Structure 1
Amino acid sequence: MRILLCLYIGLLGCSLYSQNKETLYDFTDLPQSLMLNPGADINFKYHAGVPFLSQIHVNVGFKGASIYDVFADDGRDINDKIENTINTLGSNDFFTLTQQLEIINFGWRSKKDTNLYYSGGIYQELDLIVYFPKDFAVLAYQGNQDFINVPFRFSNISATGEFLTVYHFGYNKKVNKKLTFGARAKLYSSIFNFRSTKNRGTFTTIETPQGNNIYQHIISNADASLQTAGYASLRDIESEDNADGAKQVLNKFLGRAFLGGNLGVGVDIGFSYKLEDQWTITGSMTDLGMIFYTKDVETYRARGSFVFEGLETPITDDNGQDILDELEEAIPIDTLNTSYTALRPLKLNGSIKYSFNRYVGDGCDCQDSPYQDAFGFQLFTQFRPKRPQYAASLFYYKRLSNFLKGKVTYTVDDYSYKNIGLLLSTHINKINFYISANNLLEYSNLADARGASVQLGFNVIM
């Protein structure tokens, strides 16, 4: 169990975090801004992303500690550092892994109504969040000797994971000179899903001076479950032990990716509104949707209460198997094939921007704005199983030349109070390349970093 805890803490240090893309949001020189706000004020004639290269997005970081806290070469015993890290982390600390890869992305302006711009495509997404199981990490690593009469809560156990492809199609309309509105329909095809949330019950060790033994160990009103979709068939392939097992798994993944998995629907909506010539406000709501899990579904659920007596540790070499047999009889693990529905992690964005320094020379490639500079403020929220995640950013946009534009951000979020980000975008003829990175101040020592982010892509834009 201690090995598992060390592995978990190590994963915390190399995990990927929330889907906030503060450098990309409202960067209307890029068509990818439409994925964050379908109502972005863009002025393209058409765009086409280079397949599999138009957006590669990876974020690395975690909340609560870092790899350096455990593995730093500072002369301290590693067991002491692990124990200190466990004591530092709380049940609301977490690691998340979110990754996206655009497969295709395209868009064109309507010939009948030049105020309309259509866009669509396919992307793959991986989204995982695991909350730190504080109580049971303490129980596993330190035991219960020093925690008599202290309940260990099953509610600490909370995690969800999703691997899916998304098919989308949207429109963007300039309603008038001030307002641009957009919406995007999404069809989700889930490849694999698991979730374990809303667990309840406690494990408590109490003193029993009047009883036969010193301690009594109580599992009270336990109700814990793990829902899976797409796992059972993979387990069956593994159990067959055949030579082409990897090929069968790949074929299943590809089939589910191309609308053969559990399906769901969703929508994105957004707007941009010019308060006056130089002031603009934006807002968007993305991934308002759900997935219906009806295929290849298994749920493992344990419910009940159990009381057993013993010394300091509940299970010893002498009574271990007997206790486990009694526990399994009192709290059996049922395997169910019940369908379930899960909401997608809804994300909200909003910003206000002031543009200035109007370009007055010749040769300005002013696709989105006649101004060379802008600064503003952005808010981001993503809804998660225990509580929403928040981020707030200050940003500065600069048109460095006709072919080079950039954006600098300073973000405060769950991971860091010193997150500096930078995005650079080049546009030479029709070819666009962009690259973005966050948490630049922490790149000098990535082991001690609470986060690092990189995204890049190639587009053809007119």
Structure 2
Amino acid sequence: MKIAPFLLIFFTGLSFSQNKQLLYGFSEIPQSLLLNPGGKISENKGYFGIPLLSHLHLNIGSSGVSAYDLFADDGIDFNTKLENVVNNMKPEDFFTATQQLEIFSGGFEFGNTHEKSEYLSFGLYQELDFIAYFPKDYAILALEGNQSNINKPFKLDHLSLSADVLSVFHVGYNKKVNSKFTYGVRGKIYSSIANINSVKNKGSFITVPGQNNIYNHVFDLDLEARTSGIASLVDDNSEEDYDENENIKTIRKRLMFGGNLGLGMDLGFTYQITDQLTFDSSLLDIGFIRHSKDVESYKVKDRFVFEGVDPLIVPTEQGQTADEYWTDIEEEFEDLFTVDTTATKYTTWRPVKFNASLNYAFGEKLSEDCNCIMEDSPYLNAVGAQLYAIKRPKSPQLALTAYYYRRLFNGLRVKATYTIDSYSFNNIGLGLSAHLGGANFYLMADNFIEYRNVYNVQSVSLQFGFNYIFNKNED
């Protein structure tokens, strides 16, 4: 059994999720405006983020398998566990990855009235976005070979992946129209650092009994991988010409609008239904990137029957080493497959994200002086539900969150969440935002229940950041 090809497929399954259910609606944290440009702005007449420390988001997981499924010390043979994982996973299972690092950010209120009703925010962040669907038929072929799968077609469209590393410069406008309605819009300029896109693969591979040989291998191929920003960085034709410092300069240039460019926008609003009941929603990353620089695409489109040497079934000849055998096979296949390499421009669309939540606030603050309600003070508690969706190549990914928010005392707010998504039905998260004068620090993590066995975790999230906020008033 040849396990190495499958392990390569599996370990690309470390995943990150774009859902930020703990940060969404946390209005005391300025970065919540990145999730809803029309969100509420609390106690904030201006702020600036600490450069490179104002927002970092990481989340790792997998929708169909955990490390525990493969490496648990339970006495079961590893090969058996590997076969069980492959058989239980579906082609719709996915591995996604996102990471976000805010480079700088800031914002300030403005307007003609004493109570400023407009807010401008801006910043630059770097982002990684990756998704790969589980290529089940490829994994079965790698594990079992084709001898036990005669007349079984292996679907090549199971291979579907996309990866983007980019920077985003953004400017957002938030307008409080009246006590009930607030809206916002954010414009974005994307600068792609590197992109890989292979989401339109088609075709099949099947082994059937042959006439001139024992087996015929029938290939019906329509495969394509498009890349930009990569060829110039990984060109190893001449190691003497390789310059790591030059590559770093190239990446820095692309980070500051020197890459393939695109445009996008975010939209959002908040509606105060009653004094205690609020509904808000947002659409994020409605945009595209046009790839025209450093483009290199690869395409194989053909249909043929391979006879002669049986590369996947016939054992090596006597006296022939495994390396020699597979080298011969590689040379034969190189003669069969014609890979067209082009520099054709292409466009990718950003993964549009949708958020919506319903929030109920309660628990009015009492004054210590008179044991009476403080009329201008916000409610101490809130409960609500949030729906999240993101557009992906095969189908949207969804998550539903219930949450509880609490102002514990002056300068400390906490939020607890329970989320149902593609990774888990018992994801419990906790976030806090601490304020000391103008200094703000926040820390958020989820899936606490699964930490009892970290190897069985399918999703772990972390967010933190530091800001300085110019408060409207002190608690």
Common fold, TM-score beyond 0.5?
yes
Alignment of 1:1-12 (within 5 A): 2-12=3-13
- Alignment correspondent of 1:187: 189
1:357 and 2:363 correspond: yes
For residues 440 and 91 of structure 1, the distance between their equivalents in structure 2, rounded to whole angstroms, comes to 28
1:265-321 Cα distance to aligned partner (Å, 9 max, x none): 000000000111111001000011000000000000001011023669367656977
- Alignment correspondent of 2:289: 291
Going from structure 1 to structure 2, the CA distance change for 1:315 and 1:302 (only over 3 Å counts) comes to farther
- Alignment correspondent of 2:224: 225
Going from structure 1 to structure 2, the CA distance change for 1:193 and 1:88 (only over 3 Å counts) comes to same
- Alignment correspondent of 2:41: 42
- Alignment correspondent of 1:254: 252
For residues 248 and 162 of structure 1, the distance between their equivalents in structure 2, rounded to whole angstroms, comes to 21
Asked if the contact 2:365/2:377 (under 8 Å) is kept, the reply is no
- Alignment correspondent of 1:456: 464
Alignment of 1:98-137 (within 5 A): 98-112=98-112, 114-137=116-139
DSSP-derived class of the 1:443 partner: helix
Superposed displacement of residue 361, structure 1: 1.7
Going from structure 1 to structure 2, the CA distance change for 1:379 and 1:361 (only over 3 Å counts) comes to same
1:300 and 2:308 correspond: no
Asked if the contact 2:54/2:104 (under 8 Å) is kept, the reply is yes
1:33-88 Cα distance to aligned partner (Å, 9 max, x none): 10000000113100111111111111011111111111112222222222221112
Going from structure 1 to structure 2, the CA distance change for 1:341 and 1:214 (only over 3 Å counts) comes to same
1:140-188 Cα distance to aligned partner (Å, 9 max, x none): 1111122222111110011100111100000100011100000000000
Match for residue 415 of structure 1 among 401, 414, 423: 423
Alignment of 1:97-246 (within 5 A): 97-112=97-112, 114-208=116-210, 211-220=211-220, 222-236=221-235, 238-242=236-240, 245-246=243-244
The sequence identity of aligned pairs, in percent, is 45
- Alignment correspondent of 1:26: 25
Unaligned runs of 5+ in 2: 318-324, 471-475
For residues 199 and 315 of structure 1, the distance between their equivalents in structure 2, rounded to whole angstroms, comes to 29
- Alignment correspondent of 1:386: 394
Asked if the contact 2:119/2:173 (under 8 Å) is kept, the reply is yes
1:179-207 Cα distance to aligned partner (Å, 9 max, x none): 00000000001111001011001001123
For residues 390 and 250 of structure 2, the distance between their equivalents in structure 1, rounded to whole angstroms, comes to 31
For residues 306 and 242 of structure 2, the distance between their equivalents in structure 1, rounded to whole angstroms, comes to 47
For residues 153 and 117 of structure 1, the distance between their equivalents in structure 2, rounded to whole angstroms, comes to 52
Amino acid at match of 1:453: S
Stretch of structure 1 that moved more, 328-337 or 46-55: 328-337
- Alignment correspondent of 2:275: 277
Amino acid at match of 1:388: P
Asked if the contact 2:145/2:313 (under 8 Å) is kept, the reply is no
1:355-375 Cα distance to aligned partner (Å, 9 max, x none): 1111232699x9997111110
Going from structure 1 to structure 2, the CA distance change for 1:48 and 1:332 (only over 3 Å counts) comes to same
1:89 and 2:89 correspond: yes
Match for residue 346 of structure 1 among 352, 360, 368: 352
Amino acid at match of 1:263: L
DSSP-derived class of the 1:233 partner: helix
Going from structure 1 to structure 2, the CA distance change for 1:327 and 1:368 (only over 3 Å counts) comes to farther
Going from structure 1 to structure 2, the CA distance change for 1:162 and 1:42 (only over 3 Å counts) comes to same
RMSD: 2.2
1:265 and 2:288 correspond: no
Asked if the contact 2:9/2:139 (under 8 Å) is kept, the reply is no
Going from structure 1 to structure 2, the CA distance change for 1:244 and 1:338 (only over 3 Å counts) comes to closer
- Alignment correspondent of 2:473: none
Stretch of structure 1 that moved more, 82-91 or 97-106: 82-91
Amino acid at match of 1:347: K
For residues 251 and 353 of structure 2, the distance between their equivalents in structure 1, rounded to whole angstroms, comes to 27
Superposed displacement of residue 432, structure 1: 0.6
Runs of 4+ in 1 over 3 A off after TM superposition: 309-331, 366-369
Amino acid at match of 1:233: S
- Alignment correspondent of 2:403: 395
Alignment length (residue pairs): 455
Superposed displacement of residue 235, structure 1: 2.6
For residues 339 and 170 of structure 1, the distance between their equivalents in structure 2, rounded to whole angstroms, comes to 30
Asked if the contact 2:172/2:185 (under 8 Å) is kept, the reply is yes
Superposed displacement of residue 325, structure 1: 5.8
Superposed displacement of residue 248, structure 1: 1.4
DSSP-derived class of the 2:58 partner: strand
For residues 444 and 6 of structure 2, the distance between their equivalents in structure 1, rounded to whole angstroms, comes to 33
Stretch of structure 1 that moved more, 270-279 or 112-121: 112-121
Asked if the contact 2:385/2:400 (under 8 Å) is kept, the reply is yes
DSSP-derived class of the 1:391 partner: strand
For residues 249 and 408 of structure 2, the distance between their equivalents in structure 1, rounded to whole angstroms, comes to 47
1:4-32 Cα distance to aligned partner (Å, 9 max, x none): 322432343xx232210001101111111
Amino acid at match of 1:301: K
- Alignment correspondent of 1:373: 381
Superposed displacement of residue 326, structure 1: 6.2
Going from structure 1 to structure 2, the CA distance change for 1:320 and 1:243 (only over 3 Å counts) comes to closer
Unaligned runs of 5+ in 1: none
For residues 160 and 375 of structure 2, the distance between their equivalents in structure 1, rounded to whole angstroms, comes to 46
